[in-house]
Chains A and B, each alone.
Chain A
Amino acid sequence: GNSVTQMEGPVTLSEEAFLTINCTYTATGYPSLFWYVQYPGEGLQLLLKATKADDKGSNKGFEATYRKETTSFHLEKGSVQVSDSAVYFCALSEASGTYKYIFGTGTRLKVLA
């Protein structure tokens, strides 16, 4: 079946460091890919998305590129801030059926001042 694999956390970085959170997927067809962010005690907020191969999603300095050849959608940010501390979820929307979302396990990011 379809699945999403994320790198284990927590990831601890100093402010202004470069961030990469790895995400790979297994899916039939051509799923859409998403990154969601969850701040403590809050719900899921869409961070960015990409719907086809080579698309780059970007928002608030975060970027991710849909790589079909490596089945990856790694999240990057050039300079993290303390306010970026949260849990980040990679997800795919299945390419058929009910188009439900499959989520990764989440990666907790902690940014230190």
Chain B
Amino acid sequence: EPEVTQTPSHQVTQMGQEVILRCVPISNHLYFYWYRQILGQKVEFLVSFYNNEISEKSEIFDDQFSVERPDGSNFTLKIRSTKLEDSAMYFCASSLGQVRINEQFFGPGTRLTVL
């Protein structure tokens, strides 16, 4: 069964460093998302991406964040200068089509720890 994969599973970085979180969505999916979950809190939407551009972003997704689909398979989230409060689990998701009955498939997540 196809699945969304994410690497690395755990990333530890120093405050102020750049990190890139990688995701490989399901191959025929067209819509891609990033969510984050601060430890013990709810899952929050960050950004959605379609046709090589951002279609919606949340207030959390400020200028320190960027997303990219550098090739036909990867989808990345970059945090330019990490802060302590960026420590969270980051989930990538993809869906086949952006109609409401289409389900988003989630990856296993990358745990980011900023020291």
Interaction A to B: yes
Which A residues are within 8 Å of any B CB, using their own CB? 30-32, 34, 36, 42-46, 49, 51, 89, 91, 93-95, 97-106
Q: Which residues of B are found within 8 Å of A106, using beta-carbon distances? A: 42-43
- Give every chain B residue within 8 A of A100 (Cβ-Cβ): 33, 45, 48, 56
- Which residues of B pack against A, CB within 8 Å? 31, 33, 35, 41-45, 48, 50, 55-56, 91, 93, 95, 98-104, 106-109
Q: How far is the CA of A94 from the CA of B56 in the complex (A)?
A: 12
Q: Which residue on B lies nearest to A4, using beta carbons?
A: B42
Residues A89 and B43 in contact in the complex (CB < 8 Å), given A30-B100, A100-B48: yes
- Give, as a whole number of angstroms, the nearest-CB distance from B9 to chain A: 10
Q: Is the CB of A103 within 8 A of B42?
A: yes
Q: Is the interface of A mostly helix, strand, loop or mixed?
A: loop
Count A-B contacts at CB 8 Å.
62
Q: Within the complex, what minimum Cβ distance (angstroms) separates A83 from chain B?
A: 19
B98 — which chain A residues lie within 8 A by C-beta?
98-99
B101 to chain A, nearest CB (A): 5
Whether A43 lies near B109 (C-beta < 8 A) is yes
A45 to B50, CA, bound (A): 23
Contacts of A31 in B (CB 8 A): 100
* CB-defined contacts of B48 to chain A, threshold 8 Å: 98, 100
- Report Cα–Cα, A89/B93, bound state, in Å: 16
Q: Is the CB of A32 within 8 A of B56?
A: no
